[in-house]
């Protein structure tokens, strides 16, 4: 019964996406990227005789979370080909040329027929699902084909359907995994309560990723010139809801402060609206790059109008505000935390373990309005060192989840080697 409802929902979702594709660019990418997927995949794999492992990520954030494992697998098992799939265009379109994988494509919609054909074409030796991805038909097809399936960096909460009295169908999905590596002890307990014990508390592989990114950070001379020894607030992945709080704050804050603002999405008209609302001078990155003289001592805000440099910009900051927690979902706060600084974000953070942890430890400060941001920031402005040390130490002590995932992988790979010899 529930599988029928689920499959009907998948078909309905596909119909709605095709309808939305007529006027929504992201929906159009979602639909077009899956057109003739079986033929495209068959052509890509033509002539390949190497075994394949499959990694699936919902979007860009989950891919970056899984990237340390992908690259560790590549290093330890170079004879395998790696296939990466994405659900969302925001992941695929950014990472479709990622050189750490041999094949990259959209995940076909989760129908029983698509799942069967996908597994039949790819013949993966091992499948990985990163964090939140639970697709019934794919998991069922993998289980039927006896393909070991691993979920890692997963995190569970009591309000999820898996743990409801009527959540039997969703619990079935979890039982299809051969091993689940979770971020925290609460997740271990929740899974144990419903009889799932093939679980390891390994932590979050994002810590490994942000440590790698920080170590490989790029120098951005224009940002250093703009900062010019002043205290600097880096605003990462800002949405309009965040700017509705930040702009009044910046207009009224009367202490020396430089601000770098990186929007979540680049829209020229939106950036210009923000500049008009800011009462203190601002400059766009592209303009200042073409003419560095536009950066004057009194220029308060540098607005980034490109994608890809945010993780390196944090190295110049004493403070960070991370966007998304008013509506869309809090973006990656660990990229900033690894450089050591007080962290500010909106009020909807309760689904993000790292935000809860850093709030508890005294390095993160959720704000719901302009007044709260002014009060919280003013307190940290005069003494940011304690929060900075806490946030940096938090990242450092949580590094190591990738190694634990690879230990589980090693067990499955050894079992496969034994079967091949027998």
Residue 202: the pLDDT is 95
Residue 3: the pLDDT is 77
**How many helices (DSSP H) and strands (DSSP E) are in the chain?**
20, 14
Beta bridge partners of 266: none
Q: DSSP class of residue 101? A: -
Where do the structural domains in the chain lie, given as residue ranges? 2-205+400-421, 218-397
**Cα–Cα distance between 38 and 51 in angstroms, integer?**
19
**Cα–Cα distance between 71 and 83 in angstroms, integer?**
12
Do the Cβ atoms of 106 and 30 come closer than 8 Å?
yes
Beta bridge partners of 259: 233, 301
Q: Which of 99, 171, 111 lies closest to 141 in space, CA to CA?
A: 111
Chain centre to alpha carbon of residue 392: 20
Structure token digits, residue 310: 């945010």
Structure token digits, residue 387: 């929060």
Beta bridge partners of 127: 54, 149
Q: Which of 266, 264, 257, 253 lies closest to 226 in space, CA to CA?
A: 257
Give the residue carrying structure tokens 């891919």.
63
Phi, psi of 85 (to 5 degrees): -120, 155
CATH number of 2-205+400-421: 3.40.50.11720
Do the Cβ atoms of 147 and 124 come closer than 8 Å?
yes
Q: DSSP class of residue 162? A: G
Residue 1: the pLDDT is 63
Residue 384: the pLDDT is 85
The reply to whether 218-397 shares the fold of 2-205+400-421 is yes
The answer for residues whose C-beta is within 8 angstroms of residue 365's C-beta and 6 or more apart is 342, 343, 344, 345, 359, 376, 377, 380
DSSP 27-66: HHHHHHTTTTHHHHHHHHHTT--S-EEEEEESSHHHHHHH
Fold for the domain defined by 218-397: Rossmann fold (3.40.50)
Count other C-beta atoms under 10 Å from residue 97's C-beta.
8
Chain centre to alpha carbon of residue 240: 20
- Per-residue pLDDT 10s for the chain (422 aa) are 677 888 899 989 898 999 998 989 898 998 899 999 999 999 999 989 999 999 999 998 899 999 999 999 999 999 999 999 999 998 999 899 999 999 999 999 999 999 999 999 999 999 999 998 899 999 999 999 999 999 999 999 999 999 999 999 999 999 999 999 999 999 999 999 999 999 999 999 999 999 998 999 999 999 999 999 999 999 999 999 999 999 999 999 999 999 999 999 899 999 999 999 999 999 999 999 999 999 999 999 999 999 889 999 999 999 999 999 998 899 999 999 999 999 999 999 998 989 999 999 999 999 999 999 999 999 999 888 999 999 999 999 999 999 999 999 999 998 888 887 77
């Amino acid at each position: 019964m529930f599988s029928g409802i689920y499959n009907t929902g998948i078909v309905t979702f596909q119909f709605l996406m095709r309808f939305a594709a007529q006027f929504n660019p992201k929906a159009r990418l979602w639909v077009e990227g899956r057109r003739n997927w079986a033929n495209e995949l068959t052509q890509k794999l033509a002539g390949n005789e190497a075994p394949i492992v499959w990694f699936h990520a919902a979007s860009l954030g989950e891919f970056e979370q899984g990237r340390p494992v992908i690259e560790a697998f590549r290093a330890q098992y170079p004879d395998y080909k790696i296939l990466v799939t994405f659900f969302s265009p925001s992941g695929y379109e950014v990472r479709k040329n990622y050189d750490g994988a041999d094949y990259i494509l959209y995940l076909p919609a989760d129908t029983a027929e698509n799942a069967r054909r996908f597994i039949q074409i790819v013949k993966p030796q091992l499948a990985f699902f990163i964090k939140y991805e639970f697709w019934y038909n794919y998991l069922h097809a993998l289980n039927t084909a006896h393909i070991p399936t691993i979920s890692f960096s997963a995190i569970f909460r009591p309000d999820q359907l898996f743990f409801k009295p009527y959540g039997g169908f969703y619990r079935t999905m979890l039982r299809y995994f051969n091993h689940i590596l979770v971020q925290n002890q609460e997740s271990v307990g929740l899974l144990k309560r419903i009889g799932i014990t093939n679980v390891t508390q390994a932590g979050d592989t994002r810590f490994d990723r942000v440590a790698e990114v920080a170590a490989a950070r790029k120098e951005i001379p224009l940002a250093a010139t703009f900062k010019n020894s002043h205290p600097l607030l880096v605003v990462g992945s800002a949405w309009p809801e965040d700017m509705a709080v930040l702009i009044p704050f910046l207009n009224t804050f009367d202490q020396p402060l430089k601000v770098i603002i990186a929007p979540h999405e680049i829209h020229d008209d939106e950036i210009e609206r923000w500049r008009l609302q800011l009462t203190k001078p601002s400059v766009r990155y592209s303009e200042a790059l073409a003419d560095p003289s536009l950066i004057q001592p009194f220029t308060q805000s540098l607005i980034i109008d490109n994608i890809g440099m945010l993780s390196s910009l944090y190295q110049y900051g004493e403070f960070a505000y991370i966007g998304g927690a008013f509506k869309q979902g809090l973006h990656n706060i660990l990229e900033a935390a690894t450089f050591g600084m007080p962290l500010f974000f909106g009020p909807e953070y309760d689904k993000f373990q790292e935000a809860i942890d850093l709030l508890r430890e005294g390095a993160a400060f959720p704000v719901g309005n302009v007044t709260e941001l002014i009060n919280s920031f003013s307190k940290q402005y005069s003494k940011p060192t304690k929060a900075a040390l806490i946030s940096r130490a938090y990242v450092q002590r949580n590094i190591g989840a990738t190694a634990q995932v690879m230990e589980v992988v090693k067990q499955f790979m050894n079992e496969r080697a034994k079967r091949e010899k027998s």
